[in-house]
Structures are given as structure tokens and as C-alpha cells.
């Protein structure tokens, strides 16, 4: 069965390697993510360790009866473990890629609650304590749930990005989104970008039927950027992996070799940078000029 499954998946795996550039931006998990992964796995193992009711016999697996622990724990652990193991070759882990694994955690927690109530059957004070524990666990999730619905829960602040563009845009000829998917920042607040030419754009999202639009080939992008006197570049924060596509490489190379950094505004999850040809930086840019620094 494993051999048949591997043969069935192999063509998809080979085809997917040709699209690997789409996940080139992924980085490895940080310390906080490692701690979160460890905490979730520990919770799942703890729930699986509780003695629950006897498993049902007659399961289709020959190796033994199916239990919530035997089904839920691999579902929780294996998807994340595989992505983390693949990260030894190339970072591929992103929490939303393994959201389905939380079905295993839900199954294990349900089993643990079932075992807990089974042990307290006939003992009123223990049963009340179990119910109190359930209520407290639900209440503990309320602050997290509310926080996830606030702007602070986002990895970036599109409002702050738009304000930064508004401050650096006067006198600029064009804008570069580095990488191209950061063009999504313009969707929420398009006003500050009026008058700025999107130097890499070939067809917008509507005409290309894509989320971020379609960009020109690298030689065209190079020519357009060189022709601009001042460029506003929207980039990821420091420490993020750099895209290796030809267009993204050209954007970085042209700015590094032919432009100087005039000003930089760092906001949550983004950087907005003003570049200009040498001698063309504004005389008094906002937030202090860093002209001449590459």
C-alpha cells in the first residue's frame, strides 16, 4: 500500500518542483514558533496518555483496534514533523500549511475529556471540578480569540505602510514592491500611490486575473528602474528570506549598484525606503536622511 501511494504521489511531487520558487520566501520557524509547536505536541501527548474507555474491537486495521490516541497523535505530529524535517534541505514550514493537523489535537482533547468525566462518574465533587476545568480552559482562550480579531494580530500594519509611502512619495517617480506579493499593501490604501508608476508591473490584478498582478521580465524592469530618478521601495523587514526569481534579483541589484539610500521608515512587518540616483536625494527628507548609504 505504501508503494502504491508513493507511486501515485510521485508525479505530483515532480511537477511541484517546477513551482518551488513560489515558496522561496519561506523562512525557518523562530524561537516563538518552536515553543508553540513544542507546547501543542506536549498537550497532545498529555491528552493521549490519559486512560480512556476501552477501544472498540473489530477495527479495519490488522495491527490492533483504532483508538483516538492512535489516530489523533500521528495526525497532530506527523504533518508538522515532515515539514520541519524538509526544512533541513529548504525551509518549508508555515503554520497555515498544517492547520488540518489540529483536528488531531481536537480528537485527543475530546478523548481526554471523555476519560476525565469517566473517572469522575459517581463522584460529585470531582465532576464539578472537571466542569470547572473545562470552563476555565474555554475562558483562557477568550483573550486570544479577541486579540486575533484586532489589527495588532497581523504580521504587518498596512495603515502604517501607507503613511510611510505618503511621507516619502513626494518627488518620487515610481514604486517597487520587493517582493511582488507586497503589492497587496496597496490594495487597502491606494491613495498614497497615486502619481507613482509601478515600475515592474506589466498587467494589474484585474487584467491578469491574479492577486498581485503580472510583472515585466527582468530586462524591462531593469530599464524602467534605471530611468527613474527617485524610487520608493516597499520591502520586508530585515532578516526575511529574499526571493530568488530573476525579476526580484534585478530589482535589488539595480538599486544597490546605481542608487543610494535617501531615507528609510520601518513599520511593523515592513520597510519603506526612498532611493535616488547619486545627488538626487531630497534636500530635507523626513525622519533624517541617510543619503549616500547603499
The answer to whether the peptide bond before residue 209 is cis (omega within 30 degrees of 0) is no
Report residue 50 CA to chain centroid gap: 34
Residue 287 has a CB neighbour count (10 Å cut-off) of 13
Chain centre to alpha carbon of residue 65: 38
Supply the pLDDT for residue 175. 95
Query: pLDDT tens across 103-144, in order?
Result: 999 889 888 888 877 776 666 766 677 778 778 877 877 887
More confident residue, 64 or 19: 19
Positive or negative, the CA dihedral 31, 32, 37, 38 is positive
Half-sphere exposure of 38 (CA within 13 A, CB side): 7
Secondary structure class of 208 (helix, strand, coil): helix
What's the pLDDT band for 292 if we cut at 50, 70, 90?
A: very low
Nearest of 250, 253, 286 to residue 171 by alpha carbon? 286
pTM: 0.62
Distances (CA, A) of 179 to 22, 41, 75, 176: 11, 34, 34, 8
Whole-number pLDDT of residue 290: 45
**β-pair type (197-198, 214-215):** unpaired
Domain ranges of the chain: 19-119, 158-276
Q: How far apart are CA 189 and CA 187, in angstroms?
A: 6
- pLDDT tens digits along 156-179: 888 999 999 999 999 899 999 998
Query: At CA 286, angle to CA 284 and CA 292, rounded to 5?
Result: 65
Q: Rounded distance, CA 113 to CA 92, Å?
A: 34
Q: Alpha-carbon distance 225 to 163, whole Å?
A: 23
pLDDT of residue 257: 94
At 261, the pLDDT band (50, 70, 90 cuts) reads: very high
Model confidence over 188-207: pLDDT tens digits? Answer: 889 999 989 999 999 988 88
Q: What is the pLDDT of residues 36-52, one digit of tens each?
A: 899 999 999 988 887 65
User: Nine-digit cell at 85?
Assistant: 524535517
Cα 136 to Cα 118, 128, 140: the distances in Å are 19, 12, 6
Amino acid at each position: 500500500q505504501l508503494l502504491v501511494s508513493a507511486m501515485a504521489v510521485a508525479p505530483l511531487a515532480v511537477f511541484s518542483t517546477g513551482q518551488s520558487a513560489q515558496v522561496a520566501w519561506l523562512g525557518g520557524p523562530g524561537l516563538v514558533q518552536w515553543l508553540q509547536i513544542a507546547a501543542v505536541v506536549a498537550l497532545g501527548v498529555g491528552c493521549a496518555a490519559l486512560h480512556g474507555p476501552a477501544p472498540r474491537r473489530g477495527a479495519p486495521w490488522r495491527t490492533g483496534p483504532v483508538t483516538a490516541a492512535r489516530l489523533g497523535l500521528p495526525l497532530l505530529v506527523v504533518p508538522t514533523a515532515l515539514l520541519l524535517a524538509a526544512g533541513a534541505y529548504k525551509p518549508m514550514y508555515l503554520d497555515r500549511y498544517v492547520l488540518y493537523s489540529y483536528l488531531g489535537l481536537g480528537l485527543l482533547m475530546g478523548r481526554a475529556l471523555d476519560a476525565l468525566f469517566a473517572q469522575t462518574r459517581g463522584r460529585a465533587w470531582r465532576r464539578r471540578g472537571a466542569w470547572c476545568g473545562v470552563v476555565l480552559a474555554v475562558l483562557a482562550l477568550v483573550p486570544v480569540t479577541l486579540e486575533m480579531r484586532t489589527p495588532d494580530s497581523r504580521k504587518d500594519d498596512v495603515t502604517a505602510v501607507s503613511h510611510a509611502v505618503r511621507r516619502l512619495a513626494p518627488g518620487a517617480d515610481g514604486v517597487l514592491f520587493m517582493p511582488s506579493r507586497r503589492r497587496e499593501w496597496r490594495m487597502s490604501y491606494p491613495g498614497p500611490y497615486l502619481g507613482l508608476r509601478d515600475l515592474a508591473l506589466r498587467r494589474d490584478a484585474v487584467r491578469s486575473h491574479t492577486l498581485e498582478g503580472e510583472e515585466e521580465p527582468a530586462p524591462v524592469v531593469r530599464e524602467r528602474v534605471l530611468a527613474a530618478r527617485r524610487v520608493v521601495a516597499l520591502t520586508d523587514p530585515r532578516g526575511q528570506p529574499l526571493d530568488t526569481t530573476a525579476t526580484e534579483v534585478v530589482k535589488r541589484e539595480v538599486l544597490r549598484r546605481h542608487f543610494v539610500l535617501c531615507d528609510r521608515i520601518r513599520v511593523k512587518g515592513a520597510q519603506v525606503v526612498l532611493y535616488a540616483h547619486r545627488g538626487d536625494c531630497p534636500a530635507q527628507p523626513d525622519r533624517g536622511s541617510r543619503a549616500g548609504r547603499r
